Structure formats: C-alpha cells, structure tokens
Chain A
Amino acid sequence: MRLFEVLGGWVATIPELDVKLRLGTHCYHHAWHSELWHKRLPELREMNPERLTAPPNDELVAFIDAMTEPEGPDLTIEKLVGAYRVLIPAKIAAYTYHLNNTSTITDAPTIRSLKFILQDELDDWRDGEMMIQSLIQTEAELQRAIDHQAMLQKLMLAAGGIAGPGSIGDSYEATEEAHA
C-alpha cells in the first residue's frame, strides 16, 4: 500500500515526462495488489486485516520513511532506486518464497494472486531499471544511486525483509537442522 501511495505522490514531483507517466501506471499495479491482499486476508480467517497490514517492526517503518522521503525535482534517481532497486526486488523475493512454500491445493487462491502479482512486479522492476539506467549519465549520478541504495539496503537488512525476519525463510538454518 505504501508503495502505491508514494508512486502516486511522486508523479507531481518528477519533471521527466516518461517517468511521470510510468509511475502513474505502476501506482495502479500496486494498488491492485494491495486490493487483492485486502480481500484475501479475511478469507484466511484473519478478521482484522489491520493486524496483518501493520509493519512487522520499527525498522521497516524507518525504511519506508527513508524510501518515501525524497521529494525535490532533482531527486528522480533516488526515488526510482528506492522503489525499483530495493523495495520491489525485496517484494519479488518474499512473494517468490511464499509461492514456493505454500500449499498448492489449500492455498490455491493465494498462489493465483501471487502469480498475477509477480508478473506485474517483474515487469515493473524491468521498467524501473530501464528508467534508472536512462537517467544515470555521469559518475556523480551513479554515485548518488549507489549511496542511496546502500543506505536503504542497510535499513531493509535491519528490518529483516519486507515482512520482517523470515521474509524469505532461512535455508542455511534449515540445512543445519537437517544435518544435526
């Protein structure tokens, strides 16, 4: 939800016309995803969707605040890096982990939504990466992208992933247990 909100809010702040239009389209994609989950959660006997849409920890709140903070017209690179090089890849990883680890029979509706959503996420990731690459023309701009990504990536690391620790499981721990 925060992603679609910030993409919509950024449209007015971005001078590059192609980026402005593309964010409008992506805003809807992620809004639709949040709508799918908003409908699915009550079906999982979670009668209080707000409980499962609350952030997993304060660290993720700090990440979202940092990612949504850039506003100036000269910060398009930072805006796009936050969304397309940090948040969306983290979502793709978490969604894919969930897709691979849930029951294909009993949780089929979730899987169906995940597949639709992942298709959008991958398409949007590609669009975002192309926009970022088109904007980075100098070493200074490249350094801006690197610095901003590093800052946000550390916040995401502290949060443990977009759903907190365990967002993409822990295959190394599972391996150790299996060989104990």
Chain B
Amino acid sequence: MRKSFPVEDLARDDRFVRVPIIERFNDPRTARQEDGPKGKRGPGRLTPDRPDAPDAARALMHGIFVGEIQALEGAGRTCWDFEVGAGNGEGIPEVPFELKLDMARQCWDEARHCEISIKLSGHMGTELGEFSENTFLYEAACNPDPVLRLTGVNRALEGLAIDVFNTMREFGEVAGDPVLEFCEDWMLADEVTHVKMGSDWLRRLTVNDKERQERALEFQRVVDKLFSLGGFRGEEEDSPVRLARRFRELAGFEKDEMDTLAEIAREAREEMEARVEANRAAVAN
C-alpha cells in the first residue's frame, strides 16, 4: 500500500456523489438572506424560527457525517503514511510513536462520530448519501509534512467542527430536540480533545524549528479561510455557523488566534460576495 493516498482514490460506495467545491464557488446564483412572512430566510444563522430550519439542519448534519468519514480516513492515513522516528522534519517523514497513538485514538473517536451521525440521520429522516460530498476536508489531511497535516486537520478542521457542533447543539436545545442536543454535546467534547492533540504536537515538533512552525500556522490560516466557506462561518449575526470562542478557548486557542480567525472569515465572506457579483455580471452579459 502506498505511503500517500490521493483524494481521487478515496473509496466510497455508490450512494455518495462528490461535487467539487469550485463548482459551488462558480454558481452564478445568489443566496440572499431576506425577511419573509414567517421569519428570516436564506443562508443565515441556523435557528428554529427559520421556515427551512429542519431541512437546513438535515443538510448540515449530512455535511458533518461525510466530514467525520474524511476525518477518520485522514487520521488513519497518518497512522500509516509515516515511519516512527524523531519527527524533526529532516529526511523521510517521521513521527513520534506517541503521535501515531493519538491518531489511532482519533480514528476510534471519528468512527464513533460516524456511527452517531448515521443514527442522527435516521432521526432526522436523512438518507446516507442524500446530499453531495465535498472532499476538501480530506485534502487538508494529505499534506506530506506531518506537522502541517496535524495543524491543518486538528487545529483548523477540528476547530471548524467545534464551531459547527456548537451551532447544532444550540439548535437542538432551542428546538427542544434532546437527541440532537445530546449527540452534538458528546461529539463536541471529543473535538476539543482533537484540537488539543494538534496544538500539543505542533508545539512539541517545532520547538526547535520556528520556520517549520510558521509554515504550519500559515497552512492553518489557508485552511481556516477555505473552511470559512465564503461567510459560512463567522461572527456576524447572520453567519450560519458561529465561532465557538468558549470551546475553542478550552481547546487551547489563544484570543488573538480567534480574532485572526474572525478576520479571515470576514475576508472570505467579502471575497465570496465579490465573486458572486462577478458571476452574475458575466451571465447577464
């Protein structure tokens, strides 16, 4: 088996269909938020008073599910792709034995999250593969430098998971759905652990290599921007997913990191809005 597994080869059964994220970015249609007779509608915050809230929750839950599959696959690949060694970034990629143990633990957690997500999908009336899959989560886990891989996945990706699970947990709580609230709360706890793993290994493996540390943090910023998905995650009132500052703090994020992330999210939103306008103008012409 190869020591690197490309995203094109990710194995799925035929229920799952992938839509490249570039297709969504190039969609000339505009998703606007507006007031309706039954409350705000549009790509805003996920609250029960939205007329489309149940279906929006279902779609988000399915996105979480395929994300968990990719997180499991990414952690599993990190167990296999690298040999055990000092992990100092010289020569062939190596990682400490203990890092592999943490990745194996993450495999277990993500497999459990997949099972929970499958049960939640049944609860919400969603079929597996009902919605399309984006694979950018796994793509972040393909970095050949294990430090960048962990930073991109465990700090950026799992940090997004904290934001999303917190949003879903709050939605379940306000909607009076005890099953959704309970499940999201338990998964949220695990994600805090995963982020801490990423923070710990970043620190330990780059303690004597500041340049490598900076490359890793820059990769994290790139991934954070991609995962902000044009305003999908942010601190604005109408952001569908809100930055979960309290839980990120528990996971070891510093205040200035979170402030930077909020700024990245704002930039991503502005860029998306500009892209949509350009697409509309191109279609009109």
Most buried by A among B79, B115, B138: B79
Asked if A31 is at the interface of the complex by the 8 Å CB criterion, the answer is yes
B interface residues with partner A (beta carbon < 8 Å): 1-2, 5, 9-13, 69, 72-81, 84, 97, 100-101, 103-105, 107-108, 110-112, 114-115, 128, 138
User: Which A residues touch B79, using CB under 8 A?
Assistant: 4-5, 7-9, 27, 31
How far, in angstroms, from A77 to B69 measured CA to CA in the complex? 21
- Set A5, A11, A15, A28: member contacting B12, Cβ < 8 A: A15
Which B-chain residue is minimally distant from A35 (CB atoms)? B101
User: Which B residues touch A4, using CB under 8 A?
Assistant: 79, 100, 104
Shortest Cβ gap from B18 to chain A (Å): 13
Would you list the 3 A-B pairs with minimal beta carbon distance, nearest first? A9-B80, A8-B79, A24-B111
Asked if A55 is at the interface of the complex by the 8 Å CB criterion, the answer is no
Looking at chain A's contact residues, is the secondary structure mostly helix, strand, loop, or mixed? Answer: helix
User: Which A residues touch B9, using CB under 8 A?
Assistant: 12-13, 73
Interface string of A19-55 (1 = CB under 8 A from B): 0111111011011101100100000000000000000
User: Which B residues touch A30, using CB under 8 A?
Assistant: 104
**Interface residue stretch chosen among A64-72, A92-100, A134-142, A146-154:** A64-72
Asked if A86 is at the interface of the complex by the 8 Å CB criterion, the answer is no
User: Which A residues touch B111, using CB under 8 A?
Assistant: 21-25
Query: Contact: B2 with A16, CB < 8 Å?
Result: no
- Set A8, A12, A24: member contacting B11, Cβ < 8 A: A12
Query: Contact: B2 with A24, CB < 8 Å?
Result: no
User: Which A residues touch B78, using CB under 8 A?
Assistant: 8
Query: Contact: B11 with A9, CB < 8 Å?
Result: no
A interface residues with partner B (beta carbon < 8 Å): 1, 4-17, 20-25, 27-28, 30-32, 34-35, 38, 68-71, 73
Query: Contact: A9 with B72, CB < 8 Å?
Result: no
Most buried by B among A11, A30, A68, A69: A11
Query: Contact: A71 with B2, CB < 8 Å?
Result: yes
Query: Contact: A8 with B12, CB < 8 Å?
Result: no
- Set A8, A14, A25: member contacting B103, Cβ < 8 A: A8
How far, in angstroms, from A10 to B2 measured CA to CA in the complex? 10
Given contacts A11-B77, A73-B11, 4 further A-B contacts (CB under 8 A): A20-B73, A24-B75, A28-B108, A71-B1
Query: Contact: B77 with A12, CB < 8 Å?
Result: yes
Query: Contact: B101 with A6, CB < 8 Å?
Result: no
User: Which B residues touch A34, using CB under 8 A?
Assistant: 101
Shortest Cβ gap from A24 to chain B (Å): 3
- Set B5, B73, B105, B138: member contacting A28, Cβ < 8 A: B105
User: Which A residues touch B75, using CB under 8 A?
Assistant: 8, 24
- Set B10, B81, B108, B128: member contacting A17, Cβ < 8 A: B128
Query: Contact: B104 with A8, CB < 8 Å?
Result: yes
How far, in angstroms, from A150 to B35 measured CA to CA in the complex? 68
Query: Contact: B108 with A27, CB < 8 Å?
Result: yes
Query: Contact: A20 with B69, CB < 8 Å?
Result: yes
Which B-chain residue is minimally distant from A17 (CB atoms)? B13
Query: Contact: A12 with B13, CB < 8 Å?
Result: no
Query: Contact: A13 with B11, CB < 8 Å?
Result: yes
How far, in angstroms, from A11 to B9 measured CA to CA in the complex? 12
How far, in angstroms, from A71 to B6 measured CA to CA in the complex? 12
Query: Contact: B104 with A27, CB < 8 Å?
Result: yes
Most buried by A among B9, B105, B107, B138: B107
Given contacts A17-B13, A24-B72, whether A10 and B1 have CB atoms under 8 Å apart is yes
Shortest Cβ gap from A132 to chain B (Å): 17
Given contacts A8-B79, A8-B103, whether A20 and B72 have CB atoms under 8 Å apart is yes
How far, in angstroms, from A59 to B202 measured CA to CA in the complex? 38
User: Which B residues touch A70, using CB under 8 A?
Assistant: 1
Query: Contact: B72 with A11, CB < 8 Å?
Result: yes
Query: Contact: A13 with B5, CB < 8 Å?
Result: yes
Shortest Cβ gap from A43 to chain B (Å): 17
Shortest Cβ gap from A54 to chain B (Å): 12
Query: Contact: B105 with A8, CB < 8 Å?
Result: no
